[in-house]
Amino acid sequence: MTRIRTSSIAWLVIGVLLISSAAIIKWMVVPSLTKLPADLNQSQRYEGTMSALNPQAFAANDLTNLITPTLPITANRSLTVEATDGDTAIVTSNSTLTLPDGSTQQDVHSYAVNRVDYRPIHLSAEKRQELVPPSVLNTFEDHEGIAFSFPMNPEKDGNLLYDSVTRSGQQAKFINEGTLEGRDVYNYEVNAAGPIESPTVLAQFANFPPQLPKAVIAGLLGADIIPSNARAILQDNLASLPDTIDIGFGSSNDVRLAVDAQFGAPMDVEQIQSMYVTVPVNGTDVPVLPLSTVRMHTADSEVANLADDLSKNATLLAILKVWLPAIMAITGLLLVVLACKRWRRPADKDSERYLAHV
């Protein structure tokens, strides 16, 4: 007669628990760790320069001093998750620009995004009132494209980058692959241009005259103030323009991004954001007067720190996604096999004598 080994039962239970735990870590814990954290609160620093229209010189028709000198500026951009509902998150991007005179300007936008792939989420009016905190309700906006980060393992093509000034999704053109601070990156380029649609930005020009005399445009041409890509079309069409011309406001945004190939995080961003007064010429809005030109890039120290954090996260993710589940599953399987092989043991001799007399 044989008896079940107590140790075999223990090995079997432990083996099954290890295999089950490996599956839970790989298929439940790891995906939850790669989601946008509900408590996200991070920031990044940028450095650059700025030149802008001098209002006093414009009012005095002083074309020599119309544009201020290029001066250094800094910016700090923070990302905060305000609320979550399942895989939907409300994220606020707050950029604080420190101007040469020490004053600051804030640019705040809140979005609804998917916590897994960061794609835009459209909220109904009812859901917006329910999910978006009152403190950011006035900065919330629907959007298209990538608002703050590419998804993990981003595609090379087909990505749209959201431009908050024109409120449009702009194609992110893949340029090439590369490395940055030891990390594999995808390099993209975005050339966004269009009429300014942001109410916050338009509010800055509320006191600007709604029309410009043609003579002013002719003076801007003669002083080489009009952007170079617009001079030819204005020179060819100036005579046919009315004496007084309705104006609009336009923006161009040239962005270069080095995006981490694994996590999708923009590691290094170079941006030239220009805003203009525009006039319609043959159905096209043509820039005639620069309002501001901001050149920004991610601070070098920020690039190094982000690369270090991403490398640590990559190591941790590899341990949790591959090595730990593999070790646990193999150990558990070995314990199950061992338990099955040693499931029963022979009865001792006293037991055999007792059974022989029964």
pLDDT of residue 357: 46
Q: Tell me the per-residue pLDDT of 283-332, one tens digit each, with 9 for 90 and over.
A: 899 999 999 999 999 999 999 999 999 999 999 888 888 888 888 888 88
Taking each helix axis from N to C end, the angle separating 214-222 and 228-237, rounded to the nearest 10 degrees, works out to 130
Pair type for strands 211-213 and 183-195? unpaired
What is the mean pLDDT of the segment spanning 84-97? 94
Predicted confidence at residue 346, as pLDDT, reads 61
Q: Give per-residue pLDDT as tens, 251-288.
A: 999 999 999 999 999 999 999 999 999 999 998 999 99
Compute the CA torsion angle 280, 283, 287, 289 (nearest 10 deg).
0
> What average pLDDT does the segment 210-224 reach?
91
Cα separation values, 250 from 25, 33, 247, 283, Å: 50, 41, 10, 14
Q: What is the pLDDT of residues 164-206, one digit of tens each?
A: 999 999 999 999 999 999 999 999 999 989 999 999 899 989 8
Q: Which residue has the higher pLDDT, 68 or 32?
A: 68
Residue 353 pLDDT > 80: no
pLDDT by residue (tens digit) across 29-47? Answer: 777 778 999 999 999 999 9
Q: Shortest CA distance to 113 belongs to which of 105, 123, 121?
A: 121
pTM of the model: 0.84
Distance (Å) of CA 253 to CA 5, 35, 240, 294, 347: 73, 30, 30, 10, 84
Helices 324-341 and 6-24, interaxial angle, to 10°? 160
On average, the pLDDT of the chain sits at 89
State the pLDDT at residue 345.
64
Percent pLDDT > 70 in the chain is 95
